A and B are shown apart, each in its own frame.
Chain A
Amino acid sequence: MSGKPRIWLFGDDVNTDLIIPGRYLDNYDPAHLASHAMEGASKDFSAGASEGDIIVAGRNFGCGSSREQAVIALKRSGIQAIVARSFARIFYRNAINLGLRVIVSGTADSVFKDGDSAVLEVEAGTLVSLDGSKMAALDKIPEHLMAILDHGGLIPHVKAKLGKK
Chain B
Amino acid sequence: MAGRTFAEKVLGRASGNTKAKAGEIVEASPDLVMSHENTFLVNKAFSEIGLSRPLNPDRIAIVLDHRTPANTAQTAEVHSRIRKLVNDYGIKRFYDAGEGICHQLLVEERLVRPGQLVLGTDSHTTTAGAVGAFATGIGATEMAGVWATGSLWLKIPETHRVELSGHLQKGTYPKDVALRIVAMIGPSGADYKCIEFNGPLIQDMPIAGRMVLCNMSVEMGAKAAIVVPDAVTKEWFRGYDPPVKAVVSSDPDAEFERRIEVDVSKLAPIVAGPDKVELSRSVDKFEGVGIDQAFIGSCTNGRLEDLIAAAEVLKGRKVSSSCRLIVAPASRKILVDAIDMGVAQTIVSAGGTLLPPGCGPCLGSHEGVLGPGEVCISSSNRNFRGRMGSDEAVIYLASPATVAASAIEGKIADPRRFLR
A residues lining the B interface (CB < 8 Å): 13, 15, 17-18, 21-23, 25-28, 39-40, 59-60, 63-69, 71, 86, 88-90, 93-94, 97-98, 144, 153-155, 157-159, 161-162
Q: Is the CB of A66 within 8 A of B153?
A: no
B residues lining the A interface (CB < 8 Å): 25, 38, 40-41, 44-45, 48-51, 67, 71-72, 74-75, 78, 121-123, 125, 137-142, 144-145, 148-149, 153, 187-188, 191-192, 221, 223, 276, 363-365, 369, 382, 384-387, 389, 391
Q: Is the CB of B138 within 8 A of A162?
A: no
Residues of A within 8 A of B365 (CB): 22-23, 25-26
Q: Is the CB of A17 within 8 A of B387?
A: yes
Residues of B within 8 A of A15 (CB): 382, 384
Residue of A nearest to B388 (CB): A22
Residue of A nearest to B222 (CB): A89
Residues of A within 8 A of B141 (CB): 68, 94, 97-98, 153-155
Q: Is the CB of A159 within 8 A of B221?
A: no
Cβ of B380 to closest chain A Cβ, rounded Å = 12
Partner of A90 from the list B41, B139, B389 (CB cut-off 8 Å) is: B139
Partner of B148 from the list A28, A60, A162 (CB cut-off 8 Å) is: A162
Q: Is the CB of B144 within 8 A of A40?
A: no
27 inter-chain pairs at a CB distance below 8 angstroms, sorted by A residue, are A13-B276, A15-B382, A23-B369, A23-B386, A23-B389, A26-B67, A26-B72, A40-B384, A60-B188, A65-B363, A66-B122, A66-B123, A66-B137, A67-B139, A69-B41, A71-B139, A89-B192, A90-B137, A97-B139, A97-B145, A144-B25, A154-B141, A154-B142, A155-B49, A158-B49, A158-B145, A158-B148
Residues of B within 8 A of A161 (CB): 149
Cα distance A23–B390 in the bound complex, in angstroms = 9
Residues of A within 8 A of B149 (CB): 158, 161-162
Cα distance A161–B150 in the bound complex, in angstroms = 13
Q: Which of A22, A86, A94 has the most CB of B within 10 A?
A: A22
Q: Which of B72, B75, B142, B364 has the most CB of A within 10 A?
A: B142
Using known A-B contacts A15-B384, A65-B123, A89-B221, determine if residue A26 contacts B142 with beta carbons closer than 8 Å.
no
Cα distance A89–B51 in the bound complex, in angstroms = 28
Residues of B within 8 A of A65 (CB): 122-123, 363, 382
Cα distance A93–B144 in the bound complex, in angstroms = 13
Partner of B38 from the list A17, A59, A67, A89 (CB cut-off 8 Å) is: A67
Cα distance A23–B364 in the bound complex, in angstroms = 6
Residue of A nearest to B140 (CB): A68
Q: Is the CB of A26 within 8 A of B75?
A: yes
Residue of A nearest to B51 (CB): A162
Using known A-B contacts A23-B365, A98-B141, determine if residue A86 contacts B188 with beta carbons closer than 8 Å.
yes
Residues of A within 8 A of B122 (CB): 65-66
Q: Is the CB of B71 within 8 A of A26?
A: yes
Q: Is the CB of A21 within 8 A of B364?
A: yes
Cα distance A27–B75 in the bound complex, in angstroms = 8
Q: Is the CB of B138 within 8 A of A60?
A: no
Using known A-B contacts A27-B74, A39-B391, A89-B192, determine if residue A155 contacts B45 with beta carbons closer than 8 Å.
yes
Cβ of B111 to closest chain A Cβ, rounded Å = 19
Cβ of B364 to closest chain A Cβ, rounded Å = 4
Supplied contacts A25-B365, A26-B75, A88-B191, 15 more A-B pairs, CB within 8 Å: A13-B276, A18-B385, A18-B386, A22-B363, A60-B221, A68-B41, A68-B139, A68-B141, A89-B192, A90-B137, A94-B142, A97-B139, A155-B49, A158-B145, A159-B50
Q: Is the CB of A89 within 8 A of B223?
A: yes
